[in-house]
Amino acid sequence: MASTKIQDERLTEWNNNVLKYLIPNDVILSLYLILGITGNITVILVYVFKMKVKRDDRFFIPVLASVDFIACLIGASYAFAWNILPVNFKNRIACVALSFVSQGVTIVSASLLIIIAVQRYLKVCKPSFNFTQKMKYFCTILAVCFGCAFSVPILFCYGVVEIYNPMLNVTGYWCGQKRQNIEHVIIHDISAALFAIIASLVLIILYILIGTTIYRKFIMFHESMKQGKYTKNQWSSVELESELAVDKDNDKKSSRSRANSIEDLVECDTYRRKIKRGSADTLDQGRFFTIGQHFRTHRYSYMFMTITALFIIAYTPRVTLMILESLDPNFWNKPNEAIAGFLFLYRMYLLNHAVNPFIYTFFDTRFRKAVSEIFCYCCSTRKSMSL
């Protein structure tokens, strides 16, 4: 009895020692959690209920935001539980369930980014192909099913692991990869690494093709504008992701979208007439007009490129540490400072899910305007109530 009490005291002492080094990590996790939950809920509500014009470019945004919301909620909660009980985590069910959901969300997010990249490629490079609404729904369901199926081995590979501290002569417990059937654990981690590499290569290749096509169309557009040869028919024939693009599945085209189309065409024709007069100021303005029109037209492709690049950067440390953990049974037997550093890198993937709403805000002007309207309305309501 006395021996058990001594062991418990030593385990508590060890847990508290590690806990102190994880306080900065807790602060960062709090930021991930707050930004991820509030930002992604805002994205879901605004895109689903507030946006007036429906576009196929925006279809996957609320879907991706839902996945990001789950990733921040579950991932950050899992990390907080781990930080509070770094070497005294004895709840096997919570460990396995949180690990399963955490990896499942990761695979679903990667699969969605691949689907989005394919959709962008077809829209920009193969505009004759119609990526219908039914195909989008089917691909979304397929991504969720694939993520769940790929994460099934987590149920057998993860659990409460014993770790021995020779300094305190005590055995601790934490949530991680089990050492039993280590061959299966290694196979699963290698499979996850292969999936990450293949997914990254596919995304990079697709966006290189998209970027090349966009650049070529930009040069054609700029040259045509300079020569005054750009007509309304040519404007509509170029497959750019402008505000003019409305999902082909929608039978009704909103009057607001038609108004934007007329406004853009008038702006283009006005500039074309000015360019014929050939003044130096007009030529300088034309360069800014062409670049501005280019980024406004292709902002969704650039937005998803940014999200994809951040995803690859943020998830690379996690996959690397998973492989090292499976290959080295004593990987986590390190000084507390090193453990805190590795955990920061391991959880950096949450940055991707927390920052995505800000990327949407930067690139999507209509979303930014809708959020501003909601914010101004809330402020005015609050001010009137205070009076």
Q: What is the pLDDT of residue 179?
A: 77
pLDDT tens digit sequence for 185-237? 888 888 888 998 999 999 999 999 988 888 887 777 667 666 655 444 444 44
Structure confidence at residue 226 (pLDDT): 61
pLDDT mean over 30-44: 93
**CA dihedral of 111, 198, 307, 221, whole degrees rounded to 10:** -110
Average pLDDT over residues 135-159: 92
CA distance 267 to 340: 55
- pLDDT at position 353 is 93
Report the C-alpha gap between 29 and 198 in whole angstroms.
29
| Residue pointed to by tokens 């007329």 | 262
Q: Given a cut of 80, is residue 139 above it in pLDDT?
A: yes
Q: Tens digits of per-residue pLDDT, 2-14?
A: 567 787 888 888 8
Distance of CA 117 to the CA centre of its chain: 13
| pLDDT number for residue 296 | 65
pLDDT-wise least confident of 219-233, 256-270, 283-297, 368-382: 256-270
Confidence check: pLDDT of 35 > 70: yes
Over residues 27-56, the mean pLDDT reads: 84
Here the tokens at position 266 are 């008038």
* 271-310 per-position pLDDT tens digit: 455 444 444 444 444 454 455 566 666 777 888 888 999 9
pTM of the predicted structure, to 2 decimals: 0.78
Going by pLDDT thresholds of 50, 70 and 90, the confidence category of residue 105 is very high
Ramachandran sector of residue 172 (left: φ over 0; alpha: ψ -120 to 50; beta: rest): beta
For the chain, what is the mean pLDDT?
A: 78
Return d(Cα 252, Cα 249) in angstroms, integer: 9
